A and B are shown apart, each in its own frame.
Chain A
Amino acid sequence: MHEVEELSAMEARAIGAAVGAEASEGELGDLYLRSAPRAIRLAYFLTGDRDLAEDIVQEAFVRVAGRRLRGPETFDAYLRRTVVNLFVSTLRRRRIERSRLRTLRDPGVQQPYDPSARDELFRALNTLPERQRAAIVLRFYEDLPEREAANVLGCSTGALNQLVVRGMAALRERMRGDER
């Protein structure tokens, strides 16, 4: 899993150049190549959709790189937060996961739960409400400490823990349902 890494001096200079007012196309492109893969993986686990994940990360990158930052070291944190915000605020409205939920409920595609076949878990994760899903991905994929994950979601650590507990309970319920 990811650890929160300190930037090397070279990385800090590269980010500083790319977020500077005079950044070239190449510097911005390099920053995208450096930052996007991790952000796309995060967005993928949030959305369950590779294309959508790439769209969200491109938009988040434009937003974060287009603003004044307090320092290069904050870029990744801003990008992560913006990805999560775009996911929660935009997709909550669109409810695109509803059609997937309907597919999941279709008896024709249900399979018994097999702990070794964890695609069921991936699909079940994508049926959770957005903030519960984001809380689980931030805690168990990004491995963020409680406080940092709460900051990303803009809530207290107590609220974060509630989101995780409820999300995990819902996942268990869905996996049990699939077992039956």
Chain B
Amino acid sequence: MIDLEPDLREMFRRREGDVRPVLASPPRIGSRVRWRRARRGLLAGLLASAVAVASVTGVRSLTGPRYVPGVSEEGTRTVELDVFEITYPADWFLTGVAIAPMEDPSWRIVLSNVDLGEPAPDPCSTSLPSHAVMLVFVIGTGPAEGPGWPVELAPAPEPCGATHLVAAWSRDRYASSYRAEVIAGSGASRSDVDAARRAFRTLRFPDESGAGILPYPEIDRDVSFAVLAGGRIDEEPWLLGADRSEANGFHVHVSTRDGGSGIGSMRTGSRTDVYLDPAVFGGNMYLWGAVQPGIARVEVRPEGADPFDPDMIRLPSFLGSDLRAFVAPMTGAPSGAIALYDGTGALVREVPFAPGAVLTPERDRDRPVAGAIADGRFFGTSWVLRPDGGEVLVLETADGDELARTGERGAELPPDALVLTTYAFEGDGPTQTIVFGHGGREVAFVVLVGDGGLPSTTEVIRPTDGRDPSFWGNAGARPEFAVAYDASCAFLRAIDLRTLEEAPEPEIAGSPCG
């Protein structure tokens, strides 16, 4: 056996000198820090104003939300991915697959004017509709070869469609080799072929746009994905994506450079006619979700702004869902409501929203269980979370079988306390871990963190009789920490959900209280 430890230590010592000396601080480091602080302060201010909203209507008019649609007036979307930025017709489909993600990482990403029925098919070996037009990208991480960007599309030497154009280029980045093809069937319209060529010419790359990158698509999972929408608020890019994998099923999520938020387990025909996530990142709200096929129209009614119809998106069929997604990016972090209408224009329901308060999948808003603070259904088991005697929370099945409970508490909790219990529902799909408990009176936010590093907000229930608040949330398959913050978003304490022991404050992507 080779004893490597001494060699490792010697190698570390010797190669410390590889690093260039730091002779000056980087340009703009101070302004970047101050901007980040200002953004945190802005968020705290917005949250505080939400608490005291009744007395600050004048202020609200200054900070009122503004809808920033992801579709341009010309009917195009601009989305920024890990590998490029592209502008394309808003009613086209952008899907992708990771090709052999572990051994030879590369993607195939396909922009198409029709729903192709499978994610990013190989166009030359798949039977496709004659009117289909595709712009196909194959992007790899191998050695950079070929000319740099920009390049022109040229006729393919061995065409496999009525129109077949190709281009290849390379970049000195981790995604280093690019090949693009425009392929159109014999029945494709000229305007659609031109739209694909225009989309090709809009390509930009993260370091050229100066915008950094969104962590999408991922290539360390065997995943098929669809880009549903994207855009920018105040130059900050956001993206609404969906993916499907053997391991995790169907999942929709919003991503920003400050963090992301997702919902899995969405099912057509469930009792929930809307899945809603008023996610807040960087001080702006990305109100998004999905509705059942019976909902024909969604109207967003933010407090302090005029109502509007958000961008509605049909999901590509490979995702296996006929839900329709919607997304309403807004400046600020307003509360408000969404109104759901059926095909006859009749109002089906009005659902309130508040920053970060996720409407949990499977929650039955029509028929809440009497006395419950939450209820739902996982893997065929209906569950109820309810207070028992006022000071204890009990998680039980709809039949009354107890699953878990918080411990007896006795006296009032210390102001910054966090006591909690977890229960994992397991079945045919990712584990769902319910985390619930009580906080001391200073606890205003409890955030759950999984191994993806992205926070999810819990619902905090603050009794009106002065008793300590309760909270609950779904930590998903791989919970790591529950973290408590006070009303100004200052850290109070963290609990490691694997050991239920006190833990240091974990690093959280984005603002934890969003």
Contacts and interface: CB of A to CB of B under 8 A. Distances in A.
Q: Which of A40, A54, A93 has the most CB of B within 10 A?
A: A93
A140 B12 contact: yes
Interface stretch (B26-34, B286-294, B335-343, B419-427): B26-34
Contacts of B430: none
A41 B2 contact: no
Chain B binding site: helix, strand, loop or mixed by DSSP? loop
A119 B29 CA distance: 33
Interface residues of A, number: 61
Contacts of A99: 141-143, 174, 176
B344 interface: no
A109 to B, nearest CB: 12
Interface of B: 1-2, 4-5, 7-16, 18-22, 24-26, 29-37, 40, 82, 104-105, 141-143, 174, 176, 215, 218-220, 451-453, 480-481, 490-491, 498-499, 503-507, 509
Interface in A1-39: 1, 21, 23-25, 28-30, 32-33, 36-37
A140 B11 CA distance: 10
Interface of A: 1, 21, 23-25, 28-30, 32-33, 36-37, 40-41, 44-45, 50, 53-54, 58, 61-63, 65-68, 70, 78, 81-82, 85, 89-90, 92-96, 98-99, 102-103, 115, 118-119, 121-122, 125, 136-137, 140-141, 151, 154, 156, 168, 171-172, 175-176
Contacts of A36: 22, 25
A118 B142 contact: no
Contacts of A171: 4, 8
A102 to B, nearest CB: 7
Contacts of B40: 66-68
Given A62-B29, A168-B5, 7 more contacts: A23-B34, A25-B30, A29-B30, A33-B24, A65-B33, A94-B82, A119-B11
A95 B105 contact: yes
Contacts of A24: 30
Contacts of B141: 95-96, 98-99
27 contacts: A29-B25, A30-B25, A32-B26, A37-B21, A40-B22, A44-B15, A45-B12, A50-B19, A62-B36, A65-B33, A66-B35, A66-B37, A67-B37, A68-B40, A68-B490, A70-B491, A85-B453, A89-B453, A93-B220, A95-B220, A96-B141, A99-B141, A99-B143, A99-B176, A118-B7, A122-B11, A122-B15
B19 A93 contact: no
B29 A96 contact: no
A118 B507 contact: no
A66 B36 contact: yes
Chain A binding site: helix, strand, loop or mixed by DSSP? helix
Contacts of A50: 18-20
A156 B499 contact: yes
B179 to A, nearest CB: 17
A140 B192 CA distance: 58
Given A62-B33, A63-B36, A85-B453, A96 B174 contact: yes
Contacts of A66: 32-37, 40
B33 A154 contact: no
B218 A93 contact: yes
Contacts of B490: 68
A89 B454 CA distance: 10
Given A90-B215, A98-B141, A175 B2 contact: yes
